[in-house]
């Protein structure tokens, strides 16, 4: 019988530590920064041109690094534009880090933050209860849809909040990713929490069905997971927990399954160079339009 593993999302502090260690070892932030600086200005041109005020929602913002990168780029392109940013993040430890980052970053007077320490689903519920009619220009959910109860409903709701020419940005893994291979490898023996099997291709199928227009972009990512292969290494175990989004993965599975899992991870999902084990995990960005 498959063993259920406890979701990493249920332990806010461990999530925070795991994601921080993962970020330090991953090229994801650099890839996102390149995408934001090099491609996003043109992608968002019709959304921001001529605007003196921009409304943004960030769903599952985490510690806010990507939010500030995106907002800084917009400010650089249009220094007189003011921004209202709704932050929707259910983990209070992450919101705390985001607020710390804001307080340590100079010259953010052009942004007015509204902090919502709730999930995307709770935000939707409150929005509908309060019969809110406000519209937004940019809504993003980077690496978040795995965790919502009904990804299609979440896309549909947030897309409905866009202004004309607004954009909804979603990043997720593509079909056939290393993460997908890992989950497939252990899926009949472990029950991993959340929609770990959701891919950008599922989102594309949904958007095609709804007749929504979109563009996609592949973003490269490698993560140095060398420490995960050192038995008993605390930081290695935390990074491993982030990879599977489960708490104490190493201690929760049998030693046979752990050995098989680590071998599969190393041989099927990684490259090795200069004594480092590098996990390959490109991801994809989808930009959805609101044409009318």
Contact set with ligand SAM (CB under 6 A): 9, 59-62, 65-66, 88-91, 94, 119-121, 142-144, 147-148
Beta carbons within 8 Å of 35's beta carbon, 6+ residues apart: 217, 219, 285
- The residues that bridge with 158 in the sheet, in sequence order, are none
Q: What is the gyration radius of the CA atoms in the chain, in angstroms?
A: 19
Nearer to ligand SAM among residue 55 and residue 91 (C-beta) = 91
Nearer to ligand SAM among residue 63 and residue 227 (C-beta) = 63
Nearer to ligand SAM among residue 43 and residue 257 (C-beta) = 43
Nearer to ligand SAM among residue 142 and residue 179 (C-beta) = 142
Beta carbons within 8 Å of 3's beta carbon, 6+ residues apart: 189, 190, 191, 252, 253
Closest distance between ligand SAM and the C-beta of residue 230, in Å? 24
Rounded Cα–Cα distance for residues 287 and 138 (Å): 10
Nearer to ligand SAM among residue 269 and residue 285 (C-beta) = 285
Nearer to ligand SAM among residue 98 and residue 261 (C-beta) = 98
Closest distance between ligand SAM and the C-beta of residue 277, in Å? 21
Rounded Cα–Cα distance for residues 123 and 286 (Å): 22
Closest distance between ligand SAM and the C-beta of residue 141, in Å? 7
**What are the DSSP E strand ranges found in 28-76?**
53-59
Closest distance between ligand SAM and the C-beta of residue 121, in Å? 6
Rounded Cα–Cα distance for residues 238 and 164 (Å): 43
Contact 240, 232 (CB under 8 A): no
Closest distance between ligand SAM and the C-beta of residue 1, in Å? 27
Phi, psi of 246 (to 5 degrees): -135, 155
Closest distance between ligand SAM and the C-beta of residue 59, in Å? 5
DSSP string, 96-147: HHHHHHHHHSS--TTEEEEEE-S-HHHHHHHHHHTT----EEEEEEET-GGG
């Amino acid at each position: 019988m498959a063993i259920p593993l406890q979701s990493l999302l249920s332990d806010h502090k461990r999530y925070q530590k795991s994601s921080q260690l993962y970020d330090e070892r991953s090229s994801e932030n650099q890839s996102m920064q390149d995408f934001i600086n090099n491609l996003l200005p043109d992608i968002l041109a019709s959304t921001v041109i001529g605007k003196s005020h921009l409304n943004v929602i960030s769903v599952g913002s985490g510690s806010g690094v990507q939010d500030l990168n995106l907002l800084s780029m917009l400010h650089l392109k249009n220094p007189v534009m003011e921004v209202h940013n709704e932050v929707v993040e259910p983990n209070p430890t992450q919101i705390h880090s985001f607020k710390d980052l804001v307080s340590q970053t100079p010259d953010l007077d052009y942004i007015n933050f509204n902090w919502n320490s709730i999930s995307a689903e709770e935000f939707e519920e409150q929005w509908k209860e309060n019969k809110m009619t406000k519209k937004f220009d940019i809504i993003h959910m980077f690496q978040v849809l795995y965790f919502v109860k009904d990804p299609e409903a979440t896309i549909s709701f947030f897309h409905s909040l866009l202004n004309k020419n607004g954009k909804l940005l979603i990043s997720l893994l593509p079909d056939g990713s290393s993460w997908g291979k890992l989950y497939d490898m252990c899926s009949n023996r472990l029950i991993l929490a959340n929609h770990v099997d959701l891919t950008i291709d599922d989102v594309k199928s949904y958007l095609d069905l709804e007749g929504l227009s979109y563009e996609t972009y592949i973003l490269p990512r490698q993560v140095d997971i060398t420490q995960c292969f050192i038995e008993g290494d605390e930081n290695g175990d935390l990074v491993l927990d982030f990879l599977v989004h489960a708490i104490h993965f190493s201690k929760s599975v049998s030693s046979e399954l752990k050995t098989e899992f680590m071998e599969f991870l190393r041989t099927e999902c990684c490259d090795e160079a200069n004594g480092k084990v590098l996990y390959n995990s490109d991801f994809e960005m989808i930009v959805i339009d609101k044409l009318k």
